[in-house]
Amino acid sequence: MNMRRRDLNKYNKLVKEYDEHPLVQSMKTYVQHGTTTTYDHSVRVAKLSYLLNTKLRLHADEQILVPAAFLHDFFLYDWHDEPKVSVRNFTAMHGFTHPKKAADNAKEVFDINDETYDAISSHMWPLTITKVPKSKEAKILCAADKMVALKETFEKNRFFHKKG
């Protein structure tokens, strides 16, 4: 995702504290969608959230938005691992449970504030039907995550790369 130098510098400052942590770096070992790691996915969602907020002049608080987006999938496991019941159940379970897990981890490791915690917890809405994104930051994160996930899922599908 291309960013102008000024935006990139600002983005880097907003994530620096988190990016340097070994647990965040460990997300490079987990696969998210297709061939994308959870780390790369998180960077994309954080950059897109930043850009949506800036370019569309949404006036969300970037000190909440960007860290929340960067840590939104900080659940720290590979969700493709051995299913406990069946692939279908496990995948569904991960979808429902990982936002809270990610928010709890972020709270424990970085002592994030309540706004950041809520934005992370609600990023899978409407799957997590009762966890509606309420703040501007939560809504931007929820939308950015879906846009990036869709792109990553399509990129891995060869059907979409066929010409003619």
Give the interface with Fe ion as residue ranges (CB under 5 A).
73, 145
Beta carbon nearer to Fe ion, 32 or 53: 32
| CB-based contact 98:127 (threshold 8 Å) | no
Residue in the block written with tokens 């930051």: 137
Q: Residues 41-56, buried b or exposed e (16+ Cβ, 10 A)?
A: bbbbbbbbbbbbbbee
- Give the chain's count of helices (H) and strands (E): 7, 0
Beta carbon nearer to Fe ion, 118 or 145: 145
Enumerate residues 6+ apart whose C-beta is below 8 A from 97: none
- Is 83 in a helix, a strand, or coil? coil
User: CB of 120: closest distance to Fe ion in angstroms?
Assistant: 9
- Name the region of 106 (left: φ>0; alpha: ψ -120 to 50; beta: rest): alpha
User: CB of 98: closest distance to Fe ion in angstroms?
Assistant: 6
Beta carbon nearer to Fe ion, 4 or 151: 151
User: CB of 18: closest distance to Fe ion in angstroms?
Assistant: 15
Beta carbon nearer to Fe ion, 137 or 145: 145
Tokens of 62: 């970037």
User: CB of 113: closest distance to Fe ion in angstroms?
Assistant: 20
Beta carbon nearer to Fe ion, 11 or 44: 44
User: CB of 144: closest distance to Fe ion in angstroms?
Assistant: 9
